[in-house]
Amino acid sequence: MKRILVAVFATLALALGLSGPASAADPHASCQALVSSSFAGEPGGRALELQDAFEEAAESGVPVGAVLSEFSRLHGGSIEGCFQ
């Protein structure tokens, strides 16, 4: 299941370009917070990425709650660290 989650969020990383405003986020923030902050200034951007991630998870049989829970518990220190 962890591989599926990594694949889902690797897609998000590619969409983010592994850069952006999240570089200024607190390094103790969860991966969920880092990714969310990277969408600052892009109205609807986070919602579209979440929709895509949830659709991919559903196709793999992973519940949406499991995707959110797992990613919210991760603390990679940076966007790059969240997707390693």
Q: Residue 59 has what pLDDT?
A: 92
pLDDT at 46: 86
- Rounded Cα distance between 32 and 19, Å, is 15
Question: Half-sphere exposure of 79 toward its Cβ, with a 13 Å CA cutoff?
Answer: 22
pLDDT score of 15: 58
Measured over the CA atoms of residue 8, residue 19, residue 69 and residue 55, the dihedral's sign is negative
C-alpha 14/C-alpha 37 separation (Å) is: 16
Determine the pLDDT at residue 61.
92
What is the rounded distance in angstroms from the CA atom of residue 84 to the CA atom of residue 76?
Answer: 8
Q: Return averaged pLDDT per consecutive 10 residues of the chain, 84 residues in all.
A: 62 55 66 84 86 89 86 85 81
Under a CB-based contact definition with an 8 Å cutoff, are residues 69 and 79 in contact? no
- The answer to whether the CB of 46 falls within 8 A of the CB of 33 is no
